[in-house]
Amino acid sequence: MNKENISKSVIRRLPRYYRFLSELEENDTERISSGKLAQIMRTTASQVRQDLNCFGGFGHQGYGYSVSKLKDEIAKILGLDNKFKAVLIGSGHIGTAIAAHMEFKKLGFELVGIFDNNQEILGEKINDLEINDEKNLESFCKDNNVEAAFLCVPKSAAADIVGRLYNCGVKNFWNFTHYYIQGDYPDATVENVHLSDILMTLCYSMNEAEENK
Amino acid sequence: MNKENISKSVIRRLPRYYRFLSELEENDTERISSGKLAQIMRTTASQVRQDLNCFGGFGHQGYGYSVSKLKDEIAKILGLDNKFKAVLIGSGHIGTAIAAHMEFKKLGFELVGIFDNNQEILGEKINDLEINDEKNLESFCKDNNVEAAFLCVPKSAAADIVGRLYNCGVKNFWNFTHYYIQGDYPDATVENVHLSDILMTLCYSMNEAEENK
DNA sequence: TAGATTGTTAATCGATTAACAATC
DNA sequence: TAGATTGTTAATCGATTAACAATC
């Protein structure tokens, strides 16, 4: 399990394996070959075997892979059994959607606090969690051993908030803003979700498809 | 402009260029060298020049690139001046956040309809757009020349909705569900946003960072 | 045993980086 | 002209695919 040097591209594929394996498990499929799995996922058998072997031989020659065992192994590799304590900052549209919608417990996290600076919505609840005043952020993070932050504030507020979090030891970010955390904090762990970037690439593809008609 | 064979990796970087160039423009920076731009974006000068040259020589030797001209060129390449008509289906948390939050007009799109099957919220408004009954989807798409759909429904509803859209000629999708559109419709243009996948990779990275302590 | 399918090495392909001549 | 910086070719690096011996 402790193999090092797993490439980012492999890691990014693991959640997909996990999802398809979960579906197979629900359909009571007990075993699957790299070829079949590749077919379902529209990739190659080679890639499936190469990927899975980064972590050690989960398969059996002449048999394939045990669906449920493989699924569990991937969960372990991803660390989904963790309960990293996380806070969400900014309960606007995106923040509220994230807080209400994500099944954090299945994803290795536990959402323990929601913060906003809009006095009017303080005390409102999202999934049993009260919206907390942003000025309590530091004390809360220290008291509760918070390890990650989900950043859903406007870009103008992001640098300040990240700085404050970083100062109380929160160095892992799920970043929905366009603030460039890695630029200022190269050692932070960051996953960015730049929704508008993605929509722009859809625009490009549609544009291109039209030209090629 | 009509260069073909631009790789997906280059395209995915264009929105980032666009963002950083917009910032530079706001700061009244008139020109920039590939080296400086690379520094800001934490990449290499080589990559910047290589990327930009896919589309033709926007730079001037000995001078660099004109920030505003380059920004405009990238906008043109991405097709941000389009107004692709789009519908959003599913106005739950995520759907509402997307409808209310995105500046579609800056991103090449125009949101012309929002649909849901929850009778209780029909008629409610999000940014001046009434929530429409899902059963009117087909007629609406045909009448309004809809070209793209933003899919924010539960996974269980996704296959049905995509099929219906596809049948009335909507083949471009921004997909927030885990339904695998490309699996069933290989010629559809799709951008997936699998939020839980991204959160899982953040979990992995945090897990890994802890092990290496 | 024969058939199936893995684990793993080697070959290919693509993307990134380095180098440098062209030129503003 | 000298200095700066591009455009572009060549070298390197990494990721994907193909091939096949090992083995269940």
Question: Would you call B140 helix, strand, or coil by DSSP?
Answer: helix
Residue A96 falls within a domain, yes or no?
yes
Nearest to A191 by CA among A78, A51, A101: A78
Give the pLDDT score at B5: 73
Query: Do B71 and B89 sit in the same domain of this protein?
Result: no
Query: Do A120 and A184 sit in the same domain of this protein?
Result: yes
pLDDT digits (tens, 9 = 90+) for A145-187: 999 999 999 999 999 999 999 999 999 999 999 999 999 999 9
pLDDT digits (tens, 9 = 90+) for B47-70: 999 999 988 878 999 999 999 999
Closest residue in B to A102 (Cα–Cα): B196
Confidence of residue A5 (pLDDT cuts 50, 70, 90): confident
Give the DSSP per-residue string, B160-172.
Answer: HHHHHHHHTT--E
Query: Do B62 and B91 sit in the same domain of this protein?
Result: no
pLDDT digits (tens, 9 = 90+) for B134-168: 999 999 999 999 999 999 999 999 999 999 999 99
CB contact (8 A) between residue B102 and residue A174: no
Residue B175 falls within a domain, yes or no?
yes
Cα of A164 to nearest chain B Cα, Å: 20
Residue A178 falls within a domain, yes or no?
yes
Using a 10 angstrom Cβ sphere, with 0-12 exposed, 13-18 middle and 19 or more buried, the burial of residue A119 is exposed
Asked if residue A16 lies in contact with residue B183, where contact means CB atoms within 8 angstroms, the answer is: no
CB contact (8 A) between residue B199 and residue A84: no
Give the pLDDT score at A111: 98
A29 CB closer than 7 A to any strand C atom: no
Q: Estimate in Å the CA A186 to C1' C7 gap, whole number.
A: 37
Residue A202 falls within a domain, yes or no?
no
Number of A/B CB contacts below 8 angstroms equals: 174
Taking CA A181 as the corner, what is the angle to CA A176 and CA A183, rounded to the nearest 5 degrees?
140
Which residues 57-96 in chain A have a CB closer than 7 A to strand C? Answer: 57-65
Residue B150 falls within a domain, yes or no?
yes
Residue B203 falls within a domain, yes or no?
no
Ramachandran angles phi, psi of A114, nearest 5°: -125, 135
Query: Do A192 and A131 sit in the same domain of this protein?
Result: yes
Picking from B147, B172, B207, the nearest residue to A79 by CB comes out as B207
Residue A140 falls within a domain, yes or no?
yes
Instruction: Please report the sign of the dihedral spanned by the C-alpha atoms of residue B144, residue B148, residue B151, residue B157.
Output: positive
Query: Do A92 and A189 sit in the same domain of this protein?
Result: yes
Closest residue in A to B170 (Cα–Cα): A206
Query: Do B93 and B186 sit in the same domain of this protein?
Result: yes
Confidence of residue B211 (pLDDT cuts 50, 70, 90): confident
Domain boundary among the residues B76, B92, B125 is at B76
Asked if residue A179 lies in contact with residue A161, where contact means CB atoms within 8 angstroms, the answer is: no
Q: Estimate in Å the CA A19 to C1' C8 gap, whole number.
A: 27
Report whether pLDDT(B3) > 80: no
Query: Do A28 and A123 sit in the same domain of this protein?
Result: no
Nearest to B150 by CA among B67, B90, B196: B90
Query: Do A67 and A98 sit in the same domain of this protein?
Result: no
- For chain B, give the percent of residues with pLDDT over 90: 91
B28 Cβ under 8 Å from any chain A Cβ? no
Give the pLDDT score at B209: 87
Q: Write out the residue range of the structural domain in which residue A125 sits.
A: 84-197
Give the DSSP per-residue string, B28-93.
Answer: T--EE-HHHHHHHHTS-HHHHHHHHHTT----BTTTBEEHHHHHHHHHHHHTTT--EEEEEE--SH
Q: Identify residue A190 by its one-letter amino acid code.
A: V
Give the pLDDT score at A4: 60
Average pLDDT estimate for B187-194: 96
Give the pLDDT score at B213: 66
Asked if residue A150 lies in contact with residue A88, where contact means CB atoms within 8 angstroms, the answer is: yes
Query: Do A192 and A92 sit in the same domain of this protein?
Result: yes
- Number of structural domains chain B divides into: 2
**Residue A24, domain CATH:** 1.10.10.10
**Residue B117, domain CATH:** 3.40.50.720
Give the pLDDT score at B142: 97
Domain boundary among the residues B49, B76, B103 is at B76
Tell me how long chain A is: 213
Residue B66 falls within a domain, yes or no?
yes
Report whether pLDDT(A213) > 80: no
Query: Do A93 and A71 sit in the same domain of this protein?
Result: no
Please state, in angstroms and rounded to a whole number, the distance separating the CA atoms of residues B158 and B164.
Answer: 10
Domain boundary among the residues B36, B55, B76 is at B76
Picking from B12, B19, B102, the nearest residue to A199 by CB comes out as B102
Query: Do B52 and B110 sit in the same domain of this protein?
Result: no
CA atoms within 13 A on the CB side of B95: 23
Query: Do B44 and B72 sit in the same domain of this protein?
Result: yes
pLDDT digits (tens, 9 = 90+) for A65-85: 999 999 999 999 999 999 999
pLDDT digits (tens, 9 = 90+) for A28-63: 999 999 999 999 999 999 999 999 998 887 899 999
Give the pLDDT score at A172: 98
